[in-house]
């Protein structure tokens, strides 16, 4: 009787054996339903063995092998295994996190087949029936009939079953590429460096200023991959950027099948997109970090746009870096990977400097006549802001209004005010579950914790002394919105932050309004900074950036620079010249000076020198063990025992003492961590592998723990 070795979504670093009546090597990579305790779980078959270490009476029979989709290919399992080993998480957890939710259930996948039919020419078209299924199908097929091969295999099988299609397939026409611009010389150089390189893996860092036309470089490289019948994987940092990118791909590659994988895509669609990637029917797979796990049998190119963005790092569960896994996948598949950014991460920058990555630079804007904006620093000591706005910025806003141009006011803090306080006794509204203040939201009259989501009504009087004069301190986007509306009554002010865009469809509607010119002043957070092309914006005002200068995190300056550079890049993207006004008390600060000169490289070099000297990444490799508990003592106690259980051999390693985290209390849990550093990635990995075995074997009581490899937040 064959033994199936199955990966299950359980916090145990091993596989689970089940007995099967029959199984063949082709079942490796298939999903299977198996009993576990009194539950039925879905697992993936990793190995078929002749015998098990389990006693025969403890070996349970496996449930059915799910043959609703082809087995996950060996390359895909290798990626999952790499992520499992590198990030120190059980393989089953990694696989589970990577699969779309529809495939995480111990049931065969059922997709809405009635949405498809085959035309006389043998091409798949969309039936007018069932609006929802039709929308999903349209999304897959585009507007016109497509070859039957463009269908997900499950849908095609369902059609055959329902007698709507015969299992014969028409040949698929090759997708075309619509050339749109004559490339600039810098773009030509970048494209040809990538497309004429010898076949095989190579990482490129495409460092291009905002508006330099990095997308056009991606498109040309993708065209090359598609022409040789390969697939392209494109990762973007923001869900909100996918519709715009997707439209661009659809327009520029007629006949190509583009699928989107993000958490906003409905479950069935996501399963179909996944299957289309796995069958090779989808030529372009576009998505956020989770798309890095798409199965891609014919992978020919990987693109990571805004590669420095922190959102590529998953912050819970399997804490992977999609950027790093993207590079790994390109390496494993022997194909090029293009990392694009105006402000590369110091990690990638350092690789480019050392020659590990090839540096390709685009130093000027691509559109004829478009220049980088003029960045000016407004000294808050000389021109003190009133209700957040300096006189200089207020005048500049008035001038844009008079000229019917758009302005953008950037403040990376949502809500009305970050603190509600009592002037009588000094009481401050705090979260009962976190070491944090509650943020005042006046739009819906609530106090809200931005860390755990706790909500409370706004008190009428101070809960300590009864004083009714409770006052908001500091300002967020809602307050600036109010100020702007009062200062410029004729202006149409549009606030764009995660509060105002939460409801489905809101972001799309707002983007449309901005593009049509139905808004004069945009007020927003970092949502507005990333990648968007708002051609009507000619002025960007930056408020309260100094707050981030004071942060203790050594990555804060790198992030602040990237953010300000990005948001500054929103100004003047079309012909009208752009202006950026940054209100600051420290106009001489090197970060602001670099921003004024649009100089990333010298700034990066200076930061890198500091990091090297201080022994911070990318010059050392790091991992942290974090623990949380109802009591801080328990979390610290666990870390102490974990330290005692760590491997004794610690050559090339520094293991630090347990300390409380900087946000020590979150959602009612006290949090602490322990840092491990090494100059050798290999030494660190060896240590972690051994240590995590010991950790999984420890008794933890109610303490929860996890390892975070290459952490970016502390």
* Shortest reach from residue 672's CB to Zn ion, in Å: 18
Task: Choose the one of Zn ion, ligand ADP, none that binds residue 19, judging by a C-beta under 5 to 8 angstroms depending on kind.
Answer: none
Calpha distance 190→194 (Å, rounded): 6
Task: Choose the one of Zn ion, ligand ADP, none that binds residue 210, judging by a C-beta under 5 to 8 angstroms depending on kind.
Answer: ligand ADP
Cβ atoms of 235 and 323 closer than 8 Å: yes
Beta bridge partners, 675, equal 624
Cβ atoms of 275 and 568 closer than 8 Å: no
468 binds Zn ion, rule: CB under 5 A: no
Cβ atoms of 334 and 362 closer than 8 Å: no
578 binds ligand ADP, rule: CB under 6 A: no
187 binds ligand ADP, rule: CB under 6 A: yes
Which of 465, 575, 614, 698 forms a contact with Zn ion (CB under 5 A)?
465
Calpha distance 46→28 (Å, rounded): 5
Which of 110, 130, 132, 181 forms a contact with ligand ADP (CB under 6 A)?
181
Contacts of 714 (CB under 8 A, 6+ apart): 553, 624, 661, 662, 673
Which of 96, 123, 214, 536 forms a contact with ligand ADP (CB under 6 A)?
214
Nearest to 529 by CA among 208, 364, 306, 365: 306
Which of 88, 146, 184, 343 forms a contact with ligand ADP (CB under 6 A)?
184
Which of 216, 269, 558, 708 forms a contact with ligand ADP (CB under 6 A)?
216
| Count of Cβ atoms closer than 10 Å to residue 291 Cβ | 26
Q: Applying CB under 6 A, what is the total number of residues that bind ligand ADP?
A: 16
Distances (CA, A) of 545 to 58, 113, 541, 591: 62, 52, 11, 11
Cβ atoms of 225 and 301 closer than 8 Å: yes
DSSP letters along 246-313, please? HHHHHHHSTT--EEEESTTS-HHHHHHHHHHHHHT--SEEEESGGGGG---TTEEEEEEETTT-GGGB
Tell me whether residue 366 or residue 632 sits nearer to ligand ADP (CB atom): 366
* Shortest reach from residue 215's CB to ligand ADP, in Å: 3
Tell me whether residue 188 or residue 456 sits nearer to ligand ADP (CB atom): 188
Residues 519-538 binding ligand ADP (CB under 6 A) are 533
Which of 32, 154, 183, 186 forms a contact with ligand ADP (CB under 6 A)?
183
Residues 360-379 binding ligand ADP (CB under 6 A) are 366-367
| DSSP state, residue 714 | -
213 binds ligand ADP, rule: CB under 6 A: yes
Considering only 153-161, 306-314, 359-367, 414-422, which stretch makes contact with Zn ion by CB under 5 A? Answer: 414-422
Task: Choose the one of Zn ion, ligand ADP, none that binds residue 213, judging by a C-beta under 5 to 8 angstroms depending on kind.
Answer: ligand ADP
Helical axes 267-279 vs 131-141, angle rounded to 10°: 30
Residues 420-459 binding Zn ion (CB under 5 A) are 422, 424-425, 427, 431, 433-434, 449, 451-452, 454
Residues 533-562 binding ligand ADP (CB under 6 A) are 533
Backbone angles phi and psi of 558, in degrees to 5 = -60, -45
208 binds ligand ADP, rule: CB under 6 A: yes
Task: Choose the one of ligand ADP, Zn ion, none that binds residue 356, judging by a C-beta under 5 to 8 angstroms depending on kind.
Answer: none
Query: What SS3 string covers 217-237?
Result: HHHHHHHHHHHCCCEEEEECC
Nearest to 310 by CA among 321, 326, 325, 319: 321
238 binds ligand ADP, rule: CB under 6 A: no
* Shortest reach from residue 284's CB to ligand ADP, in Å: 16
Binding site for Zn ion (CB under 5 A): 422, 424-425, 427, 431, 433-434, 449, 451-452, 454, 462, 464-465, 467
Binding site for ligand ADP (CB under 6 A): 181-184, 187, 208, 210-216, 366-367, 533
């Amino acid at each position: 009787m064959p033994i199936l070795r199955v990966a299950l979504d359980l916090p145990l670093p091993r596989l689970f054996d089940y007995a099967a009546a029959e199984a063949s090597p082709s079942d490796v990579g298939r999903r299977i339903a198996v009993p576990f305790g009194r539950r039925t779980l879905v697992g993936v078959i990793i190995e078929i063995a002749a015998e098990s270490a389990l006693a025969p009476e403890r070996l349970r029979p496996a449930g059915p092998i799910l043959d609703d989709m082809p087995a996950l290919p060996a390359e895909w399992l290798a990626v999952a295994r790499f992520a499992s080993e590198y990030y120190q998480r059980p393989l089953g957890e990694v696989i589970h996190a990577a699969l779309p939710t529809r495939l995480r259930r111990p049931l065969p996948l059922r997709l809405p087949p009635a949405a498809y039919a085959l035309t006389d020419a043998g091409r798949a078209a969309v039936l007018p029936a069932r609006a929802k299924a039709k929308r999903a199908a349209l999304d897959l097929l585009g507007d016109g009939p497509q070859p039957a091969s463009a269908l997900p295999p499950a849908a095609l099988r369902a059609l055959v079953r329902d007698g709507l299609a015969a299992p014969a397939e028409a040949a698929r026409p090759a997708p075309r590429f619509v050339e749109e611009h004559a490339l600039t010389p810098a773009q030509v150089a970048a494209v040809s460096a990538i497309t004429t390189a010898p076949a095989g893996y190579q990482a490129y860092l495409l460092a291009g200023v905002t508006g330099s036309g990095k997308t056009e470089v991606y498109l040309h490289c993708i065209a090359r991959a598609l022409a040789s019948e390969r697939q392209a994987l494109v990762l973007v940092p923001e869900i909100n950027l996918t519709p715009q990118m997707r439209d661009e791909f659809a327009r520029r590659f007629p006949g190509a099948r583009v699928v989107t994988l993000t958490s906003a895509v409905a479950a069935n669609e996501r399963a179909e997109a996944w299957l289309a990637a796995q069958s090779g029917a989808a030529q372009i797979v576009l998505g956020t970090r989770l798309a890095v796990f798409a199965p891609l049998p014919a992978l020919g190119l990987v693109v990571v746009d805004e590669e420095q963005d922190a959102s590529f790092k998953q912050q819970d569960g399997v804490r992977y870096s999609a950027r790093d896994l993207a590079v790994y996948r390109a390496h494993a598949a022997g194909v090029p990977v293009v990392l694009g950014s105006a402000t590369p991460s110091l990690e990638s920058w350092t690789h480019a400097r050392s020659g590990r990555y090839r540096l390709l630079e685009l130093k000027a804007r691509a559109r004829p006549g478009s220049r980088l904006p003029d960045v000016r620093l407004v000294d808050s000591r000389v021109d003190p802001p009133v209700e957040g706005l300096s006189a200089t910025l207020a005048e500049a806003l008035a001038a844009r209004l008079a000229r019917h141009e758009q302005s953008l006011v950037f403040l990376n803090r949502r809500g009305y005010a970050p603190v509600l306080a009592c002037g009588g006794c000094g009481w401050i509204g705090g979260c009962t579950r976190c070491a944090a203040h509650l943020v005042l939201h006046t739009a819906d009259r609530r106090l809200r914790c931005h860390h755990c989501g706790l909500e409370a009504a706004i008190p009428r009087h101070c809960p300590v002394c009864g004083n009714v004069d409770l006052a908001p301190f500091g300002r967020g986007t809602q307050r600036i919105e109010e100020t702007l509306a009062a200062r410029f009554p004729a202006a149409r002010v549009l606030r764009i932050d995660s509060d105002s865009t939460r409801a489905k469809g809101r972001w799309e509607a707002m983007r449309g309004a901005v593009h049509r010119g139905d808004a004069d002043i945009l007020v927003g957070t970092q949502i507005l900074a990333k990648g968007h092309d708002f051609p009507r914006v000619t002025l960007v005002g930056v408020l309260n950036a100094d707050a981030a200068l004071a942060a203790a995190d050594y990555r804060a300056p790198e992030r602040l620079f990237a953010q300000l550079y990005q948001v500054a890049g929103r100004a003047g993207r079309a012909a009208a010249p752009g202006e950026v006004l940054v209100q600051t008390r420290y106009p001489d600060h090197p970060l602001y000076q670099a921003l004024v000169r649009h100089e990333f490289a010298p700034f990066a070099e200076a930061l890198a020198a500091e990091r090297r000297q201080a022994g911070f990444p990318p010059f050392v490799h790091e991992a942290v063990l974090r623990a949380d508990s109802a009591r801080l003592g328990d979390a610290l106690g666990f870390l102490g025992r974990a330290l005692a259980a760590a491997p004794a051999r610690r050559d090339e390693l520094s293991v630090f003492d347990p300390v409380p985290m900087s946000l020590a209390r979150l959602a009612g849990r006290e949090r602490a961590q322990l840092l491990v550093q090494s100059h050798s990635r290999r030494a660190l990995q060896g240590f972690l592998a051994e240590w995590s075995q010991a950790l999984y074997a420890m008794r933890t009581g109610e303490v929860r723990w996890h390892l975070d490899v290459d952490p970016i937040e502390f």
